[in-house]
A and B are shown apart, each in its own frame.
Chain A
Amino acid sequence: MDASVTTQRQEPDARADTLVASYERAGYTRVAPALLQPAEPFLDLSGEDIRRRMYLTTTPDGGEFCLRPDLTIPVSRDYLASGLAGKPAGFCYLGPVFRHRSDAPAEFLQAGIESFGRSDKAAADAEMLSLGLEATAHYGLATPDIQIGDVALFASLVAGLDLPAAWKRRLIKDFNRKANLAQDLDRLVLGGNNARPEYQGVLAALAGSDPKGAHALVTDLLSIAGINAIGGRSIGEIADRFLEQSALGASARLPRDVRRLIERFLAIQGDPDGATAALRALTSEANMTSALVPALDQFESRTGFLEARGVDLKKVRFSTAFGRGFDYYTGLVFELTDPKRTGDPLVAGGRYDGLLTRLGASDPTPAVGFAVWIERLGVYGGGS
């Protein structure tokens, strides 16, 4: 039988309760979302890798539900359903989550905070990191390793590059997926129409023609063939990408200078102040200052708030390449770890400004938060 399923329920210990009580005193409302959640938001937002580990069930009328694999989405949904939606509000929680894990029980405890609707993003980011540090300190680990990244920096760099849209999509996707995009850069190849001998005549004929005219031609050809939107993609979409691929031309590789720039960008790491200086130098050299100024200003402002909160910046390891497997992060990402033990995250979190819109919010709503792995912190002696 499945070794990860155990009937022993892990009750929150007193230490975890005191931790969450301190979050309540800091102004966060304690919430307890339902254990059983509609599966759809998790499937849509978290990807098939999470689905593999989810406990899914089906209702007699076909609805799909799951045991909550995390609390960010449930807390967000409850917030959106409440009268507070769109307004600043902060929540804290403590309770079980469920994920299939071959080497550990499927049911385990997470505490955490989700903060919605605050427009002072840099200050909110810094507060999350420092509340996360309170969690490890509460359990007796005063100085964990602090790893931070900022997804907005890479997104701004890519947005500012002079590259076809197909390349920008690809770079952002791969950044979200891998912690180490740099090593893959020279292997990156786009599947281009140029590899298709049977299309080359048509593409050559279309090359250099008025894009609108070419689009109309391809659209018409598909319509003549009696093909309408099939499989959810419209004819216009197919025509757009067909022409976009042909415009990529003979070289399906990333231009060398762009590759070099990205590699140098992703190699930048160190303490936040040093990294900011390096980033400013690189972007001014590449004539990309204007593309990165907003993200860099945000980053510096956040660093200032961290310092004001007493976070020792020398202990903070920043890396431009530090991304997260969840693609809904949009800004700060952070992890607190203890490399002297397993190195697994003890606290992990970040900013996810796009999530609430994708869950149905009518207006863009800033959101930032973190989760605490209670069992992992349980091995430390403090907090009694």
Chain B
Amino acid sequence: MTSIERDRFERSASSAAVAYEREAPSPRAVMRRRALTHPGFLFGGTVMVATILVAIFAPLLTSYDPFAQDLTQRLIPPVWAAKGSWAHLLGTDGFGRDYLTRLIYGARISLIVGFGAAAIAGVIGTSLGLVGGYFGGRVDSVVMYLVNVKLAMPGVLIALSLIAVFGGSVTVVVAVLGLLFWDRFVVVTRSVTQQLRVNDYVTAAQAVGASSRRIILGEILPNVLNHIIVIASLEMASAILVEAALSFLGLGIRPPTPSWGLMISEGRNFMFFQPYLVAIPGAAIFVLVIAINMLGDGIRDITAPEGRN
């Protein structure tokens, strides 16, 4: 039964619902059971772990250098095509570089950008959300005003401009994307903080004289954590997509670093006769992003299925 069905059943049976005395399983055990039977979580988790492993152990998986050009070996199609060969499983690109190798090393870029941007955005957004949600009043107005300003600005255009000015190193890209994606963190963190703030344990802490900082970090933040993780996964997926787009336009990761978006852009010139140059990196992005989204949805289902509709 999916969680949707579960929810509707719980709602429809509420008037006949009855508490029966039985030993309730511990929350951790419940979560573990849900995790192991949740197809989205399992799929997403597997792909993520696989990608991370591939990225880390890249040199062990391929003997080619992603930067090494060999103009005698240009544009060889993948092994399943007519002129393909096992020497280059996914063929070579316009510069004779092994495509599989570039794909594998490109995974590193995607993961670094994804994690990095999500982390930066997460720190900025969560801090703002906690502060705004906890203190309310003027502070909250300022936070919402900042969010509105951020939302009004066209993120992609600004990112393009900033990268044009500051260059296309991985650091700059991560920083720029991190500065682009914090708004969803704020919205969610703020709303959850507002709900948590009225809980008794917060009031109790205040009564004991705990400082705001301690309450926020000690009482509220742990309870917001699972929401943050879910948002972080979604923003990571967005960051990967945007980086690919920026690199595709030429204002993202600089060549010859193998970003998947860059590979698509480089392949564009040949795409009518060698469509695999475009199809393969795009499919990789697609699969990774789906996996991350499913992982995020799965985490949300596992930690708080009642909140889902």
Q: Do A and B bind each other?
A: no
Q: Chain B interface (Cβ within 8 Å of chain A)?
A: none
Q: Chain A interface (Cβ within 8 Å of chain B)?
A: none
